Structure 1
Amino acid sequence: MHLAKFATAAITVACLAATFHNAHAQAPGIHRADLVRDELSVAGKEGIQVRVDFEPGAFAPRHAHPGEEIAHVLQGSLEYQLGDQPPVTLKAGESLFIPAGTPHSARNVGGGLASELATYIVTKGSPLVVPAK
């Protein structure tokens, strides 16, 4: 009887973990770590900061955010394309401002791991990432 309860509990935990993972799935080779999320003194806005690690060749397809993003490259080289502008490549120590709602993509164009620190000022309660065409 105890074994059946244990097995049921283990299956339930595994299913919940799979559901959580799928809800927060990233593009292949991209790993996101949420660092800070808090309300701002501006009504209806929140600040969010995440670290995003890109394996070699990893690509984050076009998406947008419900507010501004400041991307700061921590290591490696990342190529960003904002809207219809030509791509720009940033290396460690360089930053980029992405206006609210601007569709953009990012790709690791270096030979090793690339990482960025992304800081968002967004509308509270909105999805952070929205796929873009």
Structure 2
Amino acid sequence: MIDRRALLRTSGVAAAAGALGAALPASAEAAESSRPGGTPAPAGTDPTEGVTRTLLQEHPSPAEGWEAVQTLVQIPRHRESGRHSHPGVEVGYIVRGDVLMEFDDRPPLRLRTGDPFFIPDGVIHNARNVGRVTTMMLSTYVVDETQPLVTTY
């Protein structure tokens, strides 16, 4: 079992600052300016490199055995979250950027700044940054408190 807090604190490069308007880590800024738009990450690199997940808040849910967790996810250009699922629903909002949300069981969904999204319990998905800036997503989960927040595939 993955420790939820450890995963959120150590995902990708250094954890992002805990505010929506926070500056990007220097390594993410360098990655953004080093390749022209639309150019994929170099072969052999980890497609999730530089992805950060910052835990914003965590509270017991009104439903016994469940909890509400909110995170700020930042995905640099040409990077992706990696295929994963959650033990409950994810309700999200694209704060900045363009994402292709890919699913194992349905067609992909193109999301842009200002778009909300919903991912059902257990659905395997991958958020791929297809834009020109680091994507920022606000994700709120209502999940089984006995399970890890993220299961990777």
1:65 to 71, 86, 103: 86
Tell me whether 1:24 sits opposite 2:10 in the alignment: yes
Mapped to 2, the partners of 1:25 and 1:98 lie a distance apart of 21
Return the index of the structure with the highest Cα Rg: 1
Mapped to 2, the partners of 1:34 and 1:110 lie a distance apart of 24
* Structure 1 residues not aligned, in runs of 5+: 1-19
1:24 CA displacement: 3.0
Tell me whether 1:55 sits opposite 2:71 in the alignment: no
Whether contact under 8 Å (2:84, 2:151) holds in the other structure is yes
Whether contact under 8 Å (1:70, 1:98) holds in the other structure is yes
Partner of 1:35: 56
Partner of 1:77: 98
> How high is the TM-score relative to the length of structure 2?
0.69
Whether contact under 8 Å (1:82, 1:98) holds in the other structure is no
- The SS at the match of 1:86 is coil
Partner of 1:89: 110
Q: C-alpha deviations, 1:19-40, integer Å up to 9, x for none?
A: x68x833331211110010101
**Aligned residues between the structures:** 112
1:104 to 125, 130, 137: 125
Mapped to 1, the partners of 2:100 and 2:106 lie a distance apart of 12
Mapped to 2, the partners of 1:95 and 1:32 lie a distance apart of 18
Mapped to 2, the partners of 1:66 and 1:116 lie a distance apart of 19
Structure whose residues are more often strand by fraction: 1
Whether contact under 8 Å (2:11, 2:53) holds in the other structure is no
> How high is the TM-score relative to the length of structure 1?
0.78
Q: C-alpha deviations, 1:15-59, integer Å up to 9, x for none?
A: xxxxx68x8333312111100101011000000000001111111
Cα RMSD of the aligned pairs, angstroms, is 1.6
Identity in percent: 32
